[in-house]
Amino acid sequence: MTLFTSADKRTIKGYAGFAVFCAVFSFVYEMFSHQVYSIYMIGLAAFPILFGIVPVLFRKAFSMHEPGQVSRMLNFWAVMTLTAGSCLTGVFDIYGTTSDYTKLYWIAGAFLAGLSVIRYEIESPETKNLLPAPGGSDPETGNHNIDIYEFTGLGSLPGEF
C-alpha cells in the first residue's frame, strides 16, 4: 500500500469536514422539524463519505493510479449535486410535499458520478492531466499546460483579441 499524498490528505479532510457539516446541519434541521424525519436528511452525510472518502481509501488499498484533474472535478460535482439533491428532497419530505425537480439532482449527480468513473478508467498516468492549467509547461512532470486565452485565440488577457 502506498502512502497518502498531500492531495489525498486534502481530499479526505475536505470531504470529512463537509460530511461533519452535513451531519450537524441535518441534526439541527430535524430538531426543529416537529418530530417529522426524512431518510434523505438523515443520510445527508453519506454522500461525502461514500463518494468522497471511500474512493480514496479504495484506490490506496488496491494501489490504483491517481485520478486526473477532470475525474477529480467530476467526482467533486457529483458529490455536491447528490448532497444538494438529498438535502432538498429531505426538506420537501419534512414539509410534506414533493417536487419533480428534485429528480433532476439525482439524475445529474448519477450522470456526473458515471462520467467521473469512465474518465478515471480511460485515463492513464500519462494522460491524466488533459485539462490545461494556466501558465506554460512543467519540466519536472512533463505536463504541457497552456494559457486558456492563448489556446482559444482570444489574446493574452480577457478583452484583448
- The residue with cell 468522497 is 52
Q: Going along the chain, which residue ranges are E strands? A: none
Q: Show Cβ contacts of residue 136 under 8 Å, excluding neighbours closer than 6 positions.
A: 145, 146, 147
Answer whether 87's CB lies under 8 Å from 38's CB.
Answer: no
CA distance 149 to 125: 27
pLDDT digits (tens, 9 = 90+) for 94-148: 999 989 999 999 999 999 999 999 999 888 665 555 555 555 555 555 555 444 4
pLDDT tens, position by position, 33-82: 888 899 999 999 999 999 999 999 999 888 888 888 899 999 999 999 99
